[in-house]
Structure 1
Amino acid sequence: MNNTSFKIFTLCADTLVTEAFKSIILASGYEHFSLKDFSSMNDLELSNRHGLILIDENIIVNGRKENYLKFFKNYTDSLPVLVAVSESDKEFLKRDIFTYVTKPINISTLQQLAEPYRDNFADEGLNLIQLDDHSYNINSRTLVLADGKNVRFTNFEGGLMLIFIKNSNKTLTTKFLLENILGYSSGADSNTIKTHIWRLRKKLNYDNFQFDIVNTKEGYVFKKY
């Protein structure tokens, strides 16, 4: 597997964590780029790069150690954010702003999380998907409705949306969704999927958007009605 065109940017306050992330990233076949400070993100034009950002709970901001959430809560860049948390930090997994994974991260888990995003960028033509008169922008995780209204999704919701679109009219089990979005090591369960799908359906509730996610005994189906 040649992933060298796909970059994973890391942002951590602890140099040992940075080195651990770097080792796993390189062993997984991706390129690694270390961000020394949160402020340096503004100079990198991240939206023009193919990859994702892997951060620790604690990051460096203007030379000081800070909790990531205060500074990433209004994050709007197109690159997805993966947050590595401690096994004991279960409360983080309840948030839906980013995708979370528990430490330590292994190669298999990182590849499970990164490959869907890498595949999205493999062909620029896949960045925009048409849904009748609407379109879904993979990079910005934004649904552009026919009337011009934009519906923005979180990283998790965007991952769900993309999987559902690519598997329209197919029944997707909770197990399948967990494997393809979070990976089992994330510590999430079926309630995580149920909650995010409920929130996603609320965002898709527009009169002129004739698609919905239907819950069946076997799983979930994204289809036109």
Structure 2
Amino acid sequence: MLKILIAEDEEPIANLIRMNLRRAGYQCTWAPDGEKAADLMDTEKFDLLLLDVMLPGINGYELMDYARTLELPVIFLTALGSTENKVKGLKMGADDYLTKPFEIVELLARVEAVLRRYNKTETLITVFDVVIDAASRSVTRDGDPISLTMKEFDLLLLLARNRNIALYRETIYETVWGGEYMGQSRTVDLHIQRLKKKLNWDNEIAAVYKVGYRLEGEEKRKDF
């Protein structure tokens, strides 16, 4: 299981990030200040650091220097949204820079992209009794293949990687099909219905009123 360190001094934000990353299948550890984050980086091996700039004690820029010595991928998550700050963070070696406030689905996409760049993504995802292999782009149930079109597979993978998160139709369309979502389009709804039929999922993919869809699922881990 991939391990992510969250260096964030605002506990509500840290809890929100941690909850959604756990739902996506990551193991998370929270550090409320720079010194605690540095101690954890000394004693544990992490696959990614989510780093706020304005941390008590050791700030994010100082931690960035230390993370580079450990060859630890870093995504800055900060309220400092100026171009100057973003350029500074990226020039220091950060892999990405996300400005608060941000949408969880965007954070998850950026986390996945950075981990993929370092060949750290987990390719097998199990949802209920269905196994999704992102590398071979195949879907099976009890070893038997389930035939999906390219877009149906992309749609299922998006839902699986954002399990328990309500995804807007606009987000689904723009991620899977690309381009701008037109409100009158029924493309997403039709593909959802076809996917549910092929997977024999009547209730597993839930419609969220005035939003879009959510793949249901129980929590696998408890808070710590």
Q: TM-score, normalised by structure 2?
A: 0.42
Larger Rg: 2
Q: TM-score, normalised by structure 1?
A: 0.42
Q: Which is strand-richer, 1 or 2? A: 1
